Amino acid sequence: MLKSNKKIQKAWTFYDWANSVYPLVISSAIFPVFYEGYVDEKVIFFGFEFINTALITILSSCYFLLLVLILPVLSGIADSTGNKRAFMQFFCYLGSFCCVLLSFFDKNHLEISMLLFVMAGIGFWSSLVFYNAFLPEIAEKKDHDSLSARGFSMGYFGSVILLVLCLVLIFNAQESERAFYTRLCFALTGLWWFCFSQITFKSLPRGEKIRIKDKSTYQKGILELNKVRLYIMKTKRLKRFIYSFFVYSMAVQTIMLVAVYFGTKEVNWGEGANAKMGLIIGVLLIQLIAIPGAILLSKISKFKGNLFALKLVVFIWILLCLSALLVYEPIHFYLISGFVGLVMGGIQSLSRSTYSKYIPSGTKDTSSFFSFYDISEKLGIVIGMFSYGFIEQVTGSMRNSIVALVVFFIVGLLLLFQVPKEEISIESYG
């Protein structure tokens, strides 16, 4: 039986192990430090002048908006044709290949280099939609929390291994060779992602392929998407959870994407290599503590319920954001990083598993359901990052931007209290 197949479940978690190196090495740790030190403070991009960090923010917002537009259709097509594994593979290979090509990053050809950065991000986030959609298919609802937590834990552990390897390569090299070894780390990230993903793809079910005429494929995808939308709007539990997830994701995902840039500008690191090492140690600390964090929250949810655990972790996030206003020295950054790691792994893992439990039992349209989940997250990123950047631009301080994150978490917490504890009222879907 598919939902009791331990081999498939283990293979599924290995994709977390494979792809989690991207958000750590590319999004959070090594690439941001490399980018800040390598390109000029002001850059020319397609004839327009940008502040280097502003360019990253704008491009990230653009490709997340693109994802919002294309993924609902793609997920609907995947459900209607029964081939979500193929979609997952395509985006996995796209992202990993672009990571390898990032090793040729050249500030003199910034347009091509940043295009590779964008395509790698599209590959990562798109593959996650189809990956998450397998969870309700391969495990019983009672096992969703633990399996999701196991996946996140493996992801954090695997990414830490690669990050440590990258740090050894970079900081043991001569000063003149560090740029080369930093670029090499981008290639290693792509190869790690590609190679370990084969364990997942070897065992995940292929699904029953339904032959549909090309002209009707997109129509089928849109119909699947609309069917899911109508169902969600009819269920208080699922609808209200999506609303809450959307709001607190504005804060969570923004923190993940701007943490290094906050540390660069707001913390007194000193000069030279110590500053870079200090930042990366902070990120590494987040990853290490995220492993027990995800496991701990799954245990709390087992005894007290998913909603209680989510309310608890969002409340802790509020306290952490307020504490970040007092972060000035490296020791402050390390302390806050530790606590961020504790709740970051937990909120991501539990949000995924909670949503999977609320999906109607027996549905095969899991990709379409998770596209809504993914859209909420992506729109949250766009709004969160825009708010963060706008406040910094107007006030001149990233600390003031933290106030927006606090508001997002508070509203998300209030919405969580509106999610009914009882089962969804509409059992049938179709």
The answer to whether 29 and 264 have CB atoms below 8 angstroms apart is: no
Residue-level pLDDT at 365: 64
The answer to whether 172 and 299 have CB atoms below 8 angstroms apart is: no
Average pLDDT of the residues of the chain: 81
Q: Angle CA(399)–CA(403)–CA(406) in degrees, nearest 5?
A: 125
Among the ranges given (157-166, 191-200, 228-237, 417-426), the one the predictor scored with the smallest mean pLDDT = 417-426
Residue-level pLDDT at 116: 93
Dihedral sign for Cα atoms in the order 71, 73, 79, 81: negative
Fold of the domain built from segment(s) 10-416: Growth Hormone; Chain: A; (1.20.1250)
Q: Which helix (H) or strand (E) covers residue 50, if one does?
A: strand 48-51
**Interval 335-358: pLDDT, tens:** 888 888 888 877 877 887 888 888
**Interval 154-170: pLDDT, tens:** 887 888 899 889 888 88
Bigger pLDDT: 337 or 185?
185
Identify the bridge partners of residue 49 per DSSP, sorted by sequence position: 44
Residue-level pLDDT at 271: 66
Backbone angles phi, psi at 120, to 5 degrees: -65, -40
**Interval 48-80: pLDDT, tens:** 887 777 787 778 878 888 888 887 677 666 666
229 half-sphere exposure, CB direction, 13 A CA radius: 12
Tokens representing 283 are 């990120």
Dihedral sign for Cα atoms in the order 244, 245, 249, 251: positive
Average pLDDT of the segment spanning 384-413: 83
**Interval 90-122: pLDDT, tens:** 999 999 999 999 999 888 888 999 999 999 999
**Interval 114-156: pLDDT, tens:** 999 999 999 998 898 788 878 777 878 777 777 877 887 788 7
Residue-level pLDDT at 412: 93
Bigger pLDDT: 238 or 5?
238
Tokens representing 296 are 């701990």
- Residue 200 CA from chain centroid, whole number: 19
Among the ranges given (17-26, 81-90, 177-186, 314-323), the one the predictor scored with the smallest mean pLDDT = 81-90
Find the distance separating the first CA and the last CA of the chain, reported in whole Å.
23
Bigger pLDDT: 380 or 37?
380
Backbone angles phi, psi at 48, to 5 degrees: -110, 145
Which residue reads 């943490």 in tokens? 259
Cβ contacts of residue 390 below 8 Å, gap of 6+? none
Whether 215 shows a pLDDT value over 50: the answer reads: no
Bigger pLDDT: 271 or 374?
374
Q: What stretches of 267-329 show up as alpha helix (H) in DSSP?
A: 273-304, 306-324
Cβ contacts of residue 403 below 8 Å, gap of 6+? 391
Residue-level pLDDT at 27: 80
In 3D space, the residue among 280, 28, 293, 32 whose CA is nearest the CA of residue 165 turns out to be 280
Backbone angles phi, psi at 378, to 5 degrees: -65, -45
Tokens representing 340 are 């961020």
Bigger pLDDT: 82 or 92?
92
Confidence of residue 318 (pLDDT cuts 50, 70, 90): very high
Q: Which helix (H) or strand (E) covers residue 221, if one does?
A: helix 214-234
Confidence of residue 89 (pLDDT cuts 50, 70, 90): very high
Question: pTM for this structure?
Answer: 0.74
What is the rounded CA–CA span in Å between residue 360 and residue 368?
12
- Distance of CA 195 to CAs 122, 162, 219, 303, 353, Å? 19, 13, 35, 37, 26
Which residue reads 């977390």 in tokens? 16
DSSP letter string, 167-206: HHHHHTS-GGGHHHHHHHHHHHHHHHHHHHHHHHHHHS--
In 3D space, the residue among 209, 426, 183, 412 whose CA is nearest the CA of residue 307 turns out to be 412
Bigger pLDDT: 407 or 296?
407
Give percent of the chain with pLDDT exceeding 70: 87
Cβ contacts of residue 285 below 8 Å, gap of 6+? 334, 337, 338, 341
Identify the bridge partners of residue 48 per DSSP, sorted by sequence position: 45
Bigger pLDDT: 189 or 266?
189
Confidence of residue 31 (pLDDT cuts 50, 70, 90): confident
Among the ranges given (108-112, 295-299, 300-304), the one the predictor scored with the smallest mean pLDDT = 295-299
Percent composition of the chain: helix, strand, coil (DSSP 3-state, to 5)? 85, 0, 15
Neighbours of 286 (CB within 10 A): 27
What is the rounded CA–CA span in Å between residue 382 and residue 377?
9
- Amino acid identity of residue 131, one-letter, is Y
Confidence of residue 212 (pLDDT cuts 50, 70, 90): very low
What is the rounded CA–CA span in Å between residue 161 and residue 167?
10
Residue-level pLDDT at 216: 54
